[in-house]
Structure 1
């Protein structure tokens, strides 16, 4: 549908009028006349639209929490939004009242309509379809099953170490190859290429699009859905061209590995994988349930790949930066590995329970660098009354993960990278202190929408961190005068937050470590 400028203005006006009418009806449904939660005052109709930054909105929310408390309410173009800034609030709503706060907003034309990402478990509304997909996902990623994937993760880690030695300056690419390679093997039975792998390239572009568009309001079309009808050549419609490009990558990410595995199954040479198992159990070609079952198989494996790889990539990038910035922490972890594992082999999963400091590094990395600072927003499906306030039906409810992971009431000096905060210093064995807020309380989501692939991600992170520390030293680069460059922790915005690209020096710890690297 093509629109003239006058038609666009007319439809925009109708949309704004509808938003005003919706807000009026919303106020009438508050029969007990309870106040809305505290928050910044906005303008009529547009609300707080003009206060919202394009990036790193969690920093604005943090300032609001300081002014209004741990529950902040505001509106943008009639859309009510509630920010939860404490573990008590997220537990009360996402856990104790999960039946009302487990859905997802469906007014996201950019990512759902234009990009075609509505198949993703993370974006599905709460209901029967979501429960069916979630159950299928859980069958392949619950803790007991995840342990079966450890040999694949261990082999991928060895390849990672070898690639780091061959070209340490490209460590960012090697991190992506490590996680993408292991997940492709687990999900599809596909061994990725050493260089220029098409599956990795396609997924990288698709996930980048989702990360940029997955934040509500990132594109104006999410606030004014009528804009999705403007032609791509229309002035200011660059979002349409972006959406078309990302849509193509998303479709290719789903379809290409699916059809490869299907062909290999028909030829009798498919390698064991999650998708191979799911295709083998599909109804017959003539069965009316076939299409939906195929869609689910693509969605489960696609979601595992998209959700697991970039989360892990962002975490390990942060780990490399933290080690380069904190050589004392690096040396402590290496001393622990040497004492428990020795120097003649690499750490494996059987060593994990005996490496509390390494585990503390994994935890602290996920806390210090909040990969998804605001998580994926939830939505209330009914009007609610909570703690003396009225929360309207359809409110976008956001758990401020960044605030929970940088809460000064839970963490001393929260901006500091300090794995020791997770150790029980009174324990002579230096075991983990389980009374300290774990990143698992927020970093992987909340309530019924918690990430079902978190156990796989955690295992991959441990393997990467322990193996790299066993054989490599990570240091800051030097300038032309030979002085170390001072590194800073700078992050990007978006649904997922990455470290701004940085350089570091990666060298084998010793000749013994070099022999171990070359032996893998």
Structure 2
């Protein structure tokens, strides 16, 4: 099973055998979905059957069993999903807009002061925003421990859980090997990851609980969930505290990395395709004018800016293979039998490069999403596959999309993004190499 450039490798299989490729790897059935249509048919329309996660020894060994993305489908997952949804549904995120505005404004000032540190500024922006929402904690301007925790935790998640990377996923008995045994590198990697992700989950949580006891805590997801749970000390209340701790940590960890990757890809798009940048800036000048920054209310009047965001989501798929789904009972599709326990992989990288939908897919062309100056509803929105499928769709999607719009429009309206110059003063050619991992 490939772990590097797997999206391209899997697409070759789909090109050769069709959009349903069934594999049996040491007794583990695997179904590769090569088209967006197949993913919709199974993962969306039959989500009651296809919403489980595979039982991976690396999830347990690495300490990721509390992460919403990896929890098995069922009552425990629903409790976590419900807790998360109350803060990030479309109505709830409207209350977060003042915080988003202030953090984006601060981000712009940091970019103007030290543009060469733009990656650091992007990380700070998302960590600062999510830490306020999740824990009510203000992060430091430089070298903040919570920014570092989020970065380390998501790096561990992305690296450790790549499908097929470790043989123990297919031979679970290997989990009982001692760490020093040849071939047991996975145990050492998992032990390191476990320390990192538990620190990410527990450290800010403990700080906020201490602040609540002292009466100094700022309003946050943590304070809301714990105050609601404070009236009872029974077993269910203890479980709800665990749900709250896990849910808040997922918001902190995931929110600080996936949207970060999208914004990094955006800077690459803008620097590589200056004509698209100029068109977006002209639209902003006409709609917003020179005396203020763009706001959420401007979104419907900025179709080209929205098209730039869609093209960014398509051009660089952040989660190239999604998170594999697991079938909970036997199924049949197009006359093919699919056995219970099948691991289902959606090749999002391939969907983003479907030439029947997106001609010349390696070019960044926002115009592909427009018709007569408006967004074309007949073109598939990359958000349909970028944020996952069915009941496992990213629960923070609405917040992420709102963040992307405000950041992209604000950067375009205030700054010019260009490639660095070589010794002769010519803009250098940029190559965006995606990292190998669950999150690229």
TM-score (structure 2 length as normaliser):
0.97
What's the CA shift string for 1:102-156, capped at 9, x where partnerless? Answer: 11101x111x221111111111111111112111111111001011111111111
Q: Is 1:327 the counterpart of 2:274 in the alignment?
A: yes
What's the CA shift string for 1:457-499, capped at 9, x where partnerless? Answer: 11111111111111111111112222221112321111011xx
Q: Is 1:109 the counterpart of 2:52 in the alignment?
A: no
> Secondary structure at 1:473's aligned position in 2?
coil
What corresponds to 1:267 in structure 2?
214
Instruction: Map 1:160-171 onto structure 2 (within 5 A).
Output: 160-171=107-118
Alpha-carbon offset, residue 184 of structure 1 = 1.0
2-structure distance, mates of 1:477, 1:440? 30
Alpha-carbon offset, residue 227 of structure 1 = 2.2
Q: Is 1:383 the counterpart of 2:326 in the alignment?
A: no
Alpha-carbon offset, residue 233 of structure 1 = 2.7
User: Which one has more relative contact order, counting CA pairs under 8 Å at least 6 apart?
Assistant: 2
Alpha-carbon offset, residue 329 of structure 1 = 0.8
**Of residues 383, 407, 410 in structure 2, which corresponds to 1:440?**
383
Q: Check conservation: 2:2, 2:164, Cα contact below 8 A.
A: no
> Secondary structure at 2:87's aligned position in 1?
helix
Alpha-carbon offset, residue 307 of structure 1 = 2.0
Structure 1, 142-151 or 484-493: larger mean CA deviation: 484-493
2-structure distance, mates of 1:165, 1:282? 44
- The unaligned stretches of length 5 or more in structure 2 are none
Instruction: Map 1:285-364 onto structure 2 (within 5 A).
Output: 286-364=233-311
> Secondary structure at 2:129's aligned position in 1?
helix
2-structure distance, mates of 1:123, 1:343? 46
Alpha-carbon offset, residue 364 of structure 1 = 0.8
What corresponds to 1:31 in structure 2?
none
Alpha-carbon offset, residue 291 of structure 1 = 2.4
Instruction: Map 1:105-184 onto structure 2 (within 5 A).
Output: 105-106=54-55, 108-110=56-58, 112-184=59-131
Instruction: Map 1:458-477 onto structure 2 (within 5 A).
Output: 458-477=401-420
2-structure distance, mates of 1:96, 1:482? 54
What corresponds to 1:518 in structure 2?
none
Alpha-carbon offset, residue 283 of structure 1 = 4.4
Q: Check conservation: 1:184, 1:192, Cα contact below 8 A.
A: yes
2-structure distance, mates of 1:90, 1:234? 40
Alpha-carbon offset, residue 285 of structure 1 = 6.6
What's the CA shift string for 1:46-68, capped at 9, x where partnerless? Answer: xxxxxx22312111111011101
1-structure distance, mates of 2:363, 2:406? 24
What's the CA shift string for 1:228-275, capped at 9, x where partnerless? Answer: 222223334332222222111111111111111111111112111111
1-structure distance, mates of 2:120, 2:231? 41
> Secondary structure at 2:31's aligned position in 1?
strand
Instruction: Map 1:1-80 onto structure 2 (within 5 A).
Output: 52-80=1-29
Provide the alpha-carbon RMSD of the alignment.
1.3
1-structure distance, mates of 2:365, 2:50? 34
2-structure distance, mates of 1:214, 1:292? 27
1-structure distance, mates of 2:230, 2:100? 32
> Secondary structure at 1:196's aligned position in 2?
coil
What's the CA shift string for 1:410-441, capped at 9, x where partnerless? Answer: 112122111111112x2xxx221111100121
Q: Is 1:228 the counterpart of 2:180 in the alignment?
A: no
Alpha-carbon offset, residue 280 of structure 1 = 0.7
> Secondary structure at 1:385's aligned position in 2?
strand
Alpha-carbon offset, residue 183 of structure 1 = 1.0
What's the CA shift string for 1:354-379, capped at 9, x where partnerless? Answer: 11111111111001110001101111
Q: Which has the larger radius of gyration?
A: 1
1-structure distance, mates of 2:114, 2:437? 29
> Secondary structure at 1:477's aligned position in 2?
coil
Alpha-carbon offset, residue 340 of structure 1 = 1.0
**Of residues 317, 336, 353 in structure 2, which corresponds to 1:406?**
353
Alpha-carbon offset, residue 158 of structure 1 = 1.0
Detail structure 1 runs of 4+ shifted over 6 Å in the superposition.
Answer: none
2-structure distance, mates of 1:284, 1:277? 13
Q: Check conservation: 2:3, 2:163, Cα contact below 8 A.
A: no
> Secondary structure at 1:337's aligned position in 2?
helix
2-structure distance, mates of 1:129, 1:95? 21
What's the CA shift string for 1:493-519, capped at 9, x where partnerless? Answer: 11011xxxxxxxxxxxxxxxxxxxxxx
Q: Is 1:247 the counterpart of 2:190 in the alignment?
A: no
